[in-house]
Amino acid sequence: MTDARRGGAEAEAVDSVLAALADPTRRRLLDLLAAHGEATATTLAERLPVSRQAVVKHLAHLDAAGLVAGNRVGREVRYAVRPAALDATARWMAALAADWDRRLATIKRVAEAAERDAGPPRRD
């Protein structure tokens, strides 16, 4: 589905997810959370070459995009992946890929028909 065919809120959600995923540190954070389930910013920072404060800022971006959620347990905030926003973005990407596949199949059919209509190559 192209941008023109997506609804306003859906387009904003996809844009937010793509913007959040544009940063390699945020993608790494999602990978770590997906692999280990819940984790604190401190635990995540131990596995990355950035400070805990930087991890907190990246987690805030991921949270704003709907990709993670923080759950306060005592003094700690434990973060976990929220797959719904990523699933919606994946569906949008799959629809976009299907549109391109249809377009490419049409181009292929036209090219093959033109080749058949031209007949065998002439030998001069």
Reported as a single tens digit per residue, the pLDDT across 24-40 is 999 999 999 999 999 99
Structure confidence at residue 6 as a pLDDT band (50, 70, 90): low
Answer yes or no: is pLDDT of 9 > 70.
yes
- Is residue 8 predicted with pLDDT exceeding 60? yes
- Strand ranges inside 1-124, DSSP E: 39-40, 68-73, 76-81
Q: Per-residue b/e over 75-107, b at no fewer than 16 CB within 10 Å?
A: eebbbebbeebbeebeebeeeeeeeeeeeeeee
Query: In the chain, pLDDT over 90 holds for what percent of residues?
Result: 79
pTM score of the predicted model:
0.76
Q: Which amino acid is it at 50? A: V
**Residue 2's pLDDT is what?**
44
**pLDDT-derived band at 81, boundaries 50, 70, 90:** very high
Structural domains in the chain, CATH included, are 3-118 (1.10.10.10)
Q: What is the mean pLDDT of the chain?
A: 90
